[in-house]
Amino acid sequence: MTAGKIWPSELRTYEDPLTGFEVRQLTNYRAHSHHLYFTNPGWYADGRKMVFASDRENKTNLFSINLRNFEITQLTDLTPLPLPREVEFLRACLNPVKDEAYFWYGYDLLALDLNTLEQRPLYRMPDGFDVSMINCTADGKQVYCSISEDMSHKFRVDLLRGYVGFRETWAAMPLSQIVQVAVDGSGSKVVWEENYWVGHVNTSPQHSHLLTFCHEGPWEDVDNRIWGLNAETGEVWKIRPCEEPGERVGHEYWHADGELIGYHGTYADGTGFFGHIRYDNSGRIEVPFDTKQFKSGHGHFYSNDLDIVVSDVGPTVDLWRWNGQDYGEARALCSHDSSFKTQQQHVHPRFNADGTQVVFTSDVSGYGNVYLADMPDFDSLPLLADVLKG
């Protein structure tokens, strides 16, 4: 298996059994494949191509699919590594202004030219640390990453499969750093450091000096989930602070305007909600929903703007539309029926840049695969409540 290898199209198009709308299954190999984490868009080449990860031939590598002819190109050829350094691309990200990807391989943060497939090292993590999410700035000049003390020598850690060691890592209060890395290879610097488990660094898609990070751990127990950081001034502040014990907030992401931040969670009484807030804590809007109807403890919400939100809190990929006051009743786009067995098998739905397509991952076939659905007219979709009733 070598970088540059071409795999023929694996496209399968079908009519969703619940909604009747067309869905395209982009991968169909007897191993797990998945798109990038939902906060990190995988489209490039003006939306004509998309990266994904796959475990083909007993290795995990990065691939690209041409969304015109659905031909697949292998982008890397990496030797497998053992835990806690295993090769995985959930945390990978793309540069928004040029065809370049960034990912962790062992202790090294690497850049990959998506056209020539040339790799180059940008940063080496200190010994005794472990990785989290990475994100590239809006101007394409910097990659931000969070790293934390590796706790695997103290207790078992396998966060991608069952959150093993999740609560223990949070309780250990590991030293964490947010590192700014120049994509031209000119160097790096620590822009934030604290004794708390830090994860999910997300950069504003419009303001290159603004980013969010999270205090990782059980959502109901962390001191505050979402934090803002001005990388120019070093200022750090709470975003959407929890207001009562037992409240849960998380899965934060930036809207395309680089101003608003979306998230979801549950109030102390168990009522679910999703909402958005400006990075300076103004303009907060939250919409409650009945978590019991979904019969699932999983779920992500994503939107490019206020208008349409996509979620996966039940067995379907769902859409919600803003009506000026709230989001009304959810409608079902298609089923996914994924097991959520591992992080790579989470559905993680998200829109492309112009909101015309939704990408998601599901292992309904027995293996994780990448799926793509075009956005139909919202009013033509069946109500989610009706679909769940059968």
pLDDT tens for each residue of 152-210: 989 888 878 888 889 999 999 999 999 999 999 999 999 999 999 999 999 999 999 99
What residues contact 126, with CB distance under 8 A and at least 6 apart? 147
With H, G, I as helix, E, B as strand and everything else as coil, classify residue 28: coil
Q: How far apart are CA 82 and CA 374, in angstroms?
A: 38
Query: What does the pLDDT average to over 110-117?
Result: 98
pLDDT category of residue 298 using cuts at 50, 70 and 90: low
pLDDT averaged over the chain?
94
Between CA 56 and CA 65, with CA 61 as vertex, the angle to 5 degrees is: 85
Output the pLDDT for position 299.
82
pLDDT at 293: 57
The pLDDT confidence band at residue 291, using thresholds 50, 70 and 90, is low
Q: How confident is the model at residue 295 (pLDDT cuts 50, 70, 90)?
A: low
For the cut 70, the answer to whether the pLDDT of residue 348 exceeds it is: yes
How would you classify the pairing of strands 357-362 and 369-374? antiparallel
Kindly tell me if the per-residue pLDDT of 14 is higher than 70.
yes
**pLDDT value at position 188?**
98
Decide: 197 and 215 in contact? Cβ < 8 Å: yes
Buried-exposed string 94-130: b where 16+ CB fall within 10 A, e elsewhere: bbbeebbbbbbbebebbbbebeebebeebbebeeebb
Structural domains for the chain: 1-76+290-390 (2.130.10.10), 81-265 (2.130.10.10)
Q: Which tokens go with 227? A: 């934090």
**Do residues 317 and 299 make contact, with C-beta atoms less than 8 angstroms apart?**
no
- What pLDDT, on the 0 to 100 scale, is given for residue 13? 98
| pLDDT, average across residues 134-160 | 93
pLDDT score, position 9:
98
The whole-number pLDDT of residue 94 equals 98
Task: Give the residue-averaged pLDDT of 254-260.
Answer: 98
CA–CA distance from 363 to each of 29, 112, 166, 200 (Å)? Answer: 12, 28, 24, 24
